[in-house]
Amino acid sequence: MNPVTLALATQRLTQLITEDELMRPVRESINDWAAGAEEFSFRDRVAVLASCPACMSVWAAAGILIASRFKVGRPLVRILAGSGIALLLTAAKDRTTR
Whether 98 shows a pLDDT value over 80: the answer reads no
Per-residue pLDDT band for 11 (boundaries 50, 70, 90) equals: very high
Q: Measured on CA atoms in the order 54, 84, 66, 34, is the torsion positive or negative?
A: positive
**Max Cα-Cα span within the chain:** 47
Q: What is this structure's pTM?
A: 0.89
Backbone φ and ψ for 51, nearest 5 degrees, come out as -120, 0
pLDDT mean over 61-89: 96
**Domain spans of the chain?**
3-96
